[in-house]
Structure formats: C-alpha cells, structure tokens
Amino acid sequence: MAMIAPFKGLTYNFGKMGDISKLIAPPYDVITEKEQKEYYRTHSNNVIRLILGKKKTGDSDWDNRYTRAADYLKRWESEDILVRADYPSIYLTSHSYDLGDGSGLRVRWGFIALVRIEDEDSGVILPHERTFSAHRDDRLKLMRACRTQLSQVFALYDDLDSGILDDLKKASSSPSQVAFDYRDGTSHRMWIVRDQRIFKKITDAMADKSVFIADGHHRYETSRNFRNIMRARYGRGKGNRSYEYIMMYLTDMNNKGLTILPSHRLIKSPREFRRDIFFERARQWFELDEFSLSGTGEDNTSRGVRQVLKEKGLHTSAIGFHYHGGDRYYILSLKAGVMDEMGQDLHPSLRKLDTLVLSRLLLQKCLGFTKEDMDNEGIFYYTSNIEDSIYLVNSGVYEMTFMLNPTRVDQVKEVAKNSLMMPRKSTYFYPKVLTGLVFNKIDPHETIQIP
C-alpha cells in the first residue's frame, strides 16, 4: 500500500556550518511573528528565511517572500551552505524530551523518507483533520517558487513488533552525523542511512501499511496539488517522477515516545457571556463539579484540573471550564445516554471525541457559536498549556477557557480509517518535527528508485 523510498536529501553542510541548532526552526504554522523575528536574528542562514520569510512593503509578483526564499535556496546551494547527498538515503532521528510531569525522559524515534502521494480515496494515506484554502495557497506558492519540499509531513504507521525502527537502529550503530540540544530543552540526533539491504526491508515492511497524517495536512494537500500541476506540464510517466513523492517523517504509533498533548480552547466571545444561562443549558447534558481557585495559584490549579480531567475522562467525556472574573473552575462530565443530542449525522467514532462533545453541545448549543465562528482565529485561540489557559483568562486577555484531555492515538486511527475528519485542533503531537534537518529537491526529470 504505502510506497516508501530513500532520497538524495539536501542538508546544511554539517561540517561547515557549526551549531546546527541555530539553523533550524519549528514548523512554520506554530511560529509567531515575534518568534519569526528571533529566528531571523539567530543566524543569517536560519531556515526561517525559507519557510516563513518576512513580508515587505512593496512586495510584487516578481519580488515577494516566496521568490526571496527561492533566491536564498539557490544562493546557499552555490555557496555550499546547503549540500545534496550523492546517494539516496533514509534519515533516522531520535528526539529526547521531558514533559515535566514526572514521567521522566522520553525518546521518540522516527525516520525521514519519501512516500508516494496518493489520491484522496486510495485509503493509503489517511488524514484526520480538514484543511483551509488560505494555508494551502500559501504553501503552494512557496513550493512553486522553490521546487523543494522544505518541511516534512509528520505521519504514523502501525508496527506492533517495531521491526522497522529496530532495523534502522541496527544500521546506525555508529555515531550520529547530527547531534544538538534545542532551545526548548529537547535533544536531537540524526543518522544518514545508506544501506540498500535495509531500504529493501523497510519498503517491503511498509508495503502493506496505511499511513496516518499526524501533522502537516496542509503540506500534504499542497504536495498533491503541486504533483497535479507537474503532471499537466511534464506528464505522469510511470508514476516514479520526483513530484509523485512527498518527504515524510514517519514513526510507529505504538512508539512509547509518541505524545499527544491536549488543545485547550481560549475564547473571546463576540456576545455577552451569561453565566446562569450557560450553566442551566449545560446541566441538560453534563454533571458539574466546581473547585475553588482562591489562593491556589495557576500552577497548583492546573495540576488539579489535569488530575480531575484525567480521572473523570476514564469513564466519559470530561471538560474543564473557567471564565474571567470567576473564582472557581468547573469540570463538566457528560451524562450517560445523551450522545444522540450531538446530532444523528455524527459517526460513532466521532461521538467519542471530547472535541466534538465540546463543539456540538457546549460551544454551539450552550453558547450559540456557529461552525463559521469556530474557524475564526479572532475568536478562538489554542494552547496545550493549562497554566497559560488559566492565566490568560484571569488576566482578561480571553473571556473563557475550555480545558481538555488529550485525544488518544487509537481515536486518531479509528477516525482516519473511517475516512472522517476531527474538528480543527483536535490533536497536538509533541514535540513538533523541526524544520531544517533535511529538504527534498523536486527535479521534474528525476526519477525515484524503489529498492
């Protein structure tokens, strides 16, 4: 099913460039404007200039952040700041991190390779969240200008015996080519694997698997749109042209180092919040437990919310709530037998999601938000940090927050296998895959060789 291939990656010249941590950045879509400026200052060759260049007054069709990214890319290659591999490779990575919750150090292993782009109904590459046209258009402009895949799609596969990653680890017993600590406290290593025998074992093992997109839905759809443009110009051929493939970071969904964080909702309501009316409506479907905020501090409160949410969430959908000016937080636990209130149009696998319970019952039925409202970034903000949620509401930046348990991997798998979509920001896979470790150049005349 999934067709995997090694590729001639374009990387920073590791021997020449020094501290690699100064050259990389998180995915473009989690970088704030303030962070963008910081990455610009960190190093003159930081990847930010490629993935999220600055806009300038007077930008035109021939001079804009996309054309400037292409110019940087071309110049850095000519100056040997970026170098392309001579041989097809697979890039094995380890990502070490500590959540700070007492669970200790975690290590997520994964590998970067090419995966053949599939049509929507193939059942091979499965998304779980819908995308937005503005983001797709932005990434397509960048890809057309650079002819390079600059960021990996983060994807999962199911491998109960972990044979694929074990084989790659055996092939990388030597010291890693890349090793650095990042500013967020995480540690990274990367090995460049060139063993043809391992390539064959991996492609054979992946051939009967589906791939689940964890993060990077916009990048995947953009690559498929770009593929279609290139097919129209250069032909489909045997389906092995470079534009038929996309660079992915792949990890086993059974990997103990894989973490999903919750996406708590912070809201600036366009209408007056009526506390009594909200609670009266909510009690139709939820049991309410209330807890005092006084004198506990955000940090102690967040631990309390997290613990109660976890305990309540073992038996039903549980959602935390706090509003500006209130001295309490609330845990709303879904009553038994009220699933039908969410709407007959929902598939059973979607009714189990806390994000759908929140959306259908609390946001739409209790607070009166429309589906269009919930796509409005001026109203909704998302964070994985409970402390931030409480602080931003207490300080008046947002009017209210809804706090959630993380979506489980098995729920992502079930939704994707049923060709369904979760609400926006239902998952936050952590840590994010950093951008800048390796890029994939797209030459329309180059063919990809399957081992």
Tell me how far apart the alpha carbons of residues 21 and 42 are, in angstroms, rounded to a whole number: 10
Q: Are residues 240 and 334 in the same domain?
A: no
Task: Please report whether residue 111 resides in a domain.
Answer: yes
Same domain, 226 and 270: no
Would you say 266 and 382 are in contact if contact means Cβ atoms under 8 Å apart? Answer: yes
Residues of the chain with pLDDT under 70: 131, 294-300, 340, 343
Listed residue (248, 152, 172, 241) closest to 450, CA to CA: 241
In sequence order, the 6+-apart residues with CB closer than 8 A to the CB of 301 are 293, 329, 390
Please tell me the total count of domains within the chain: 2
| 229 occurs within a structural domain | yes
Judge whether 449 lies within some domain: no
Are 53 and 75 in contact, with CB atoms under 8 Å apart? no
Is there a single domain that holds both residue 255 and residue 267? no
Say yes or no: 254 and 270 in one domain. no
Helix or strand holding residue 414 (H, E): helix 409-417
What is the distance of C-alpha 367 from the center of its chain?
A: 29
Do 250 and 376 belong to one domain? no
Identify whether residues 191 and 312 lie together within a single domain. no
Do 384 and 280 sit in the same domain of this protein?
yes
Is residue 451 assigned to a domain? no
My answer on whether 268 and 253 are in the same domain is: no
Interstrand relation of 10-12 and 4-5 (parallel, antiparallel or unpaired): unpaired
pLDDT for 418 equals 86
What's the alpha-carbon Rg for the chain, to the nearest Å?
A: 23
190 beta partners: 93, 178
For residue 270, the model assigns a pLDDT of 75
The half-sphere exposure of 38 on its side-chain side, counting CA atoms within 13 A, is 10
What is the extent of the structural domain holding 269? 263-405
In this structure, the answer to whether residues 188 and 290 fall within a common structural domain is no
Answer yes or no: do 254 and 269 share one domain. Answer: no
**List of residues 6+ apart from 236 with CB closer than 8 A:** none
Q: Sign (positive/negative) of CA torsion 392, 398, 400, 404?
A: negative
Whole-number Å distance between alpha carbons of 227 and 80: 28
Query: Do 267 and 249 share a structural domain?
Result: no
Query: Is 94 within 8 Å of 109 (Cβ atoms)?
Result: yes
**In 3-state terms, what secondary structure has residue 116?**
strand
